[in-house]
Amino acid sequence: MTTAAPGYTDSYLGDQHAGQLARLRTLECAFDPQSQTVFDQLNLPCKPDILDLGAGAGSLTGWLTQRYPDATVTATDIDTRFLTDIPGIKVLTHNAVTDDFPMASFDVVHARALLCHLPQREDILKRAITWLRPGGWLVIEDVSLQPSLKTSHPLFRKVAQAGITLLTKSIGSDMLWADTLPARLRDRGLSNVGYRLYEGRIGDNSPADTFWASTTVQAGPALLKLGLLTQDDLEAMTHLRADPTFTDTALTFVSAWGQAPERG
């Protein structure tokens, strides 16, 4: 999930944060099952070239090498510290904002929890399509926090809005962008566009709940520093999440994919 956005690597989501690897593991636990389901339905060549762009802690990259043992799997990130011990992959330090690949390099280009945090997301989406071979697949997966803005619980809505504001101001994230992914892939000329949605809840001890809580804890000092929340707000939210009568939808994980046209 590490990205090249100005402000990201120095933010509370940067890989230099002491708790970042543990937080990324909660993300993987929450979202790997859907990502794997998406790949299982793609029709790929016998020896595909797969790019995992902004591979984060690398659990999906490692799974890809097992799912496609004859594939060449390239994992990139602006900070590759969590990728170096994964066997069977090519690791490349790569800035998605500024660094390119030759045209028609890959049979699959995948990015997860990446583009929503990059203000240059539309340009990256356009360039990523050129990296595909004819008939190759672009798979974009991202988180939308739209459900948390619709909650009827005032404290949860306050905490959610504070988190969105923090991400927008400090990183340039767009935490509603994922809702438009299928339409954006169609608009870019991809065919056979499909999508899957995963509803992540809090207060139910699910993997999504753990991911939400881990991210909120890591964001706590920044939220306090900017005056977006108080310590009382954070403590009250912790108690609310632990209340056995409370559960609510916090996020939607959107997976969208489309196929590059045959050229010529």
In sequence order, the 6+-apart residues with CB closer than 8 A to the CB of 48 are 68, 71, 72, 107, 108
pTM: 0.93
Residues 93-121: pLDDT tens digits? 999 999 999 999 999 999 999 999 999 99
The residue assigned the tokens 């306090």 is 224
In sequence order, the 6+-apart residues with CB closer than 8 A to the CB of 108 are 39, 42, 44, 48, 49, 50, 51, 132, 136, 137, 138, 139
The residue assigned the tokens 């995963």 is 198
Q: Which of 182, 186, 201 is nearest to 254 (CA)?
A: 182
Task: Provide the pLDDT for residue 164.
Answer: 97
Task: Provide the pLDDT for residue 262.
Answer: 82
Residues 115-140: pLDDT tens digits? 999 999 999 999 999 999 999 999 99
Tokens representing 258?
A: 């489309």
Task: Provide the pLDDT for residue 201.
Answer: 98
49, 189, 216 from 17: Cα distances, Å: 32, 39, 14
CB 257 within 8 Å of CB 110: no
Task: Provide the pLDDT for residue 19.
Answer: 79
Instruction: Set out the domains of the chain in order of their start, with CATH numbers.
Output: 8-260 (3.40.50.150)
Task: Provide the pLDDT for residue 4.
Answer: 40
In sequence order, the 6+-apart residues with CB closer than 8 A to the CB of 149 are 157, 160, 161, 164
